[in-house]
Structure 1
Amino acid sequence: MKPQNLCSKCLDGTFYDGTPRGKWENISDVACYVATPERYASRSWARKIVLYLPDAYGPQLLNNQLLADDFAKKGFKTVIPDIFDGEPVPLEARFNTFNVPKWLARHGDNVVRPIIDRVIAALKKQGVQDFLATGYCMGGRYVFDLAFDNIVKVAAVSHPTLLQSPTDFEKYKSLSKAPLLMNTCDFDPWFPPESQAKASECLSSFPHKFARRHWEGCTHGFAVRGDMNNPKVKAGKEGAFLAVVDWFEAHSMTAESRM
């Protein structure tokens, strides 16, 4: 059963300042924030894309744009599709002035997944061959779904929401060939310790590689909206990002043989 609301930790956090380096592109009538590395076309794996599936604030949130830019600095062209079709949760929602259950009802699987599929199909027409996926909060749900269908070749999720334990972990083990990294934390109502432990138990023998990195002192949302003035949270946010980068680098070159 999927929860019908978002906890406060899904919406609060630290909202950063900065200047994004990427640009907005229309991909199959979907607004996408695209962060491209320098000299991308000359790289040996220029046909690979990191599909960044965001939290409820969508690609409009500066934090998400800056994180996509960080992936680009590491050499990964990164695309954040507007999976909420121009209606992300507004920042004011963290002050309890927004009807989140009604918003969730308007952005269910039947709405979000077709948007993602359209972007993927359009990118394939552009010549993209391999999709690596990283998902945060709600985005983690859709990384799992894409991995079930073996659309993505490498997967990473950070503090995911909407996962069903143990059903989704058993399904992942049964259907997917995508190496999976999970970034988890101490306090996470949507992915609590018992679910984290169940994921490790179910996927410990996953033949295509599984790892879970746990970040102490962090709460749900830390990998996107963590307080950089808190040493433990800063270590968790930066560590989770580098863990995803390392995961992609370690597995993206060998994933094709498994698909």
Structure 2
Amino acid sequence: MASSQCCENPHTLSSTCGQGCVEDVGGLKAYITGHSDSKLAVLLASDVFGYEAPNLRKLADKIAAAGFYVVVPDFFYGEPYETNNPNRPVLEWLKDHGTDKGTEAAKAVVAALKSKGISAIGAVGFCWGAKVVVELGKHSLINAAVLCHPALVTVDDIKEVKTHIAILLAEIDESNTPPELVKQYEEALSVKAEVGAFMKIFPGTEHGWTVRYDVDDEPAVKKAEESHQHMLDWFTKYVK
């Protein structure tokens, strides 16, 4: 179940931010950035606040600058979670926007990318999106996965992953990834010799720190950028 931390520090959404554009990919609107002739792609699966988050699009542009074609789909069809809507709490919202539906939509996006000649795909999921990305990894639909402060991801999910996976965790995220669950993740990955695996807990960080940081908070920006570099290094290593 998603925790209250998943809905804290919401983004201020903007449909005009970023260097890219919005196009249809696999039946979904998506923020697209990077070189259209690149054969290497990275898919970003957002948290519950959706694909118009400025920090998320800024990160997409950063990944694109490293040579990737980057796609940030609107998995919520124009209806991201709204913290100021008392008539639709997150558990009600999730009935219409569950990760099962997100996974099926992501599969269509992956298929569309491959149909246009993309030869290797990485995917990174944030909170809600981490569950979607781990499902893609369980079915070998991507070459590399990164999970950032995951929610809803079980030990059984990790056991079934067939692709290279990095998990970037917040130190202060008791509801989603308590220490005992992190240990179980580590144990599950330690016996998967066939896939590359990396885990790191970022000291002093809270759930959402990789994309829901205050741009005027220099220490928070620095911690987010550190996670972004790990992400880029992972994709550079395995998406080629």
Q: TM-score, normalised by structure 2?
A: 0.90
Corresponding residue for residue 13 of structure 1: 9
Contact 1:154 1:251 in 2 (8 A): yes
Of 186, 198, 206, the residue aligned with 2:192 is: 206
Corresponding residue for residue 71 of structure 2: 79
Code of the aligned partner of 1:61 = A
Corresponding residue for residue 197 of structure 1: 183
Distance 1:235 1:182, change over 3 A: same
Corresponding residue for residue 50 of structure 1: 42
Corresponding residue for residue 242 of structure 1: 229
How far residue 227 of structure 1 moved from its aligned partner, in angstroms, is 3.2
Superposition RMSD on alpha carbons, in Å? 2.1
How far apart are the structure 2 equivalents of 1:110 and 1:209?
A: 26
Corresponding residue for residue 164 of structure 2: 179
Code of the aligned partner of 2:192 = F
How far apart are the structure 2 equivalents of 1:234 and 1:192?
A: 24
How far apart are the structure 1 equivalents of 2:62 and 2:237?
A: 18
Distance 1:220 1:194, change over 3 A: same
- The SS at the match of 1:225 is coil
Contact 2:99 2:131 in 1 (8 A): no
How far residue 229 of structure 1 moved from its aligned partner, in angstroms, is 4.6
The CA deviation string for residues 73-120 of structure 1, in whole angstroms up to 9 with x for no partner, is 222211011111221113536xx6742111011112442222112222
How far residue 236 of structure 1 moved from its aligned partner, in angstroms, is 2.0
Corresponding residue for residue 120 of structure 1: 110
Matched, 1:92 2:89: no
How far residue 34 of structure 1 moved from its aligned partner, in angstroms, is 0.6
Corresponding residue for residue 257 of structure 1: none
Code of the aligned partner of 2:65 = K
How far apart are the structure 2 equivalents of 1:156 and 1:229?
A: 26
Code of the aligned partner of 2:135 = D
How far apart are the structure 2 equivalents of 1:57 and 1:19?
A: 15
Contact 1:58 1:64 in 2 (8 A): no
Q: Any runs of at least 4 consecutive aligned residues in structure 1 with deviations exceeding 3 A, and if so which?
A: 14-19, 227-232
- The SS at the match of 1:92 is coil
Contact 2:127 2:149 in 1 (8 A): yes
Code of the aligned partner of 1:167 = D
Corresponding residue for residue 205 of structure 2: 218
Structure 1: where are the runs of 5+ without partners?
Answer: 254-259
Structure 2: where are the runs of 5+ without partners?
Answer: none
Q: TM-score, normalised by structure 1?
A: 0.83
Distance 1:90 1:14, change over 3 A: closer
How far apart are the structure 2 equivalents of 1:138 and 1:126?
A: 27
Of 94, 97, 104, the residue aligned with 1:107 is: 97
How far residue 15 of structure 1 moved from its aligned partner, in angstroms, is 4.0
- The SS at the match of 2:76 is coil
- The SS at the match of 1:224 is coil
How far apart are the structure 1 equivalents of 2:148 and 2:34?
A: 22
- The SS at the match of 2:210 is helix
The CA deviation string for residues 195-225 of structure 1, in whole angstroms up to 9 with x for no partner, is 1121112212322211112111100000011
How far apart are the structure 1 equivalents of 2:166 and 2:56?
A: 19
Q: Percent identity?
A: 26
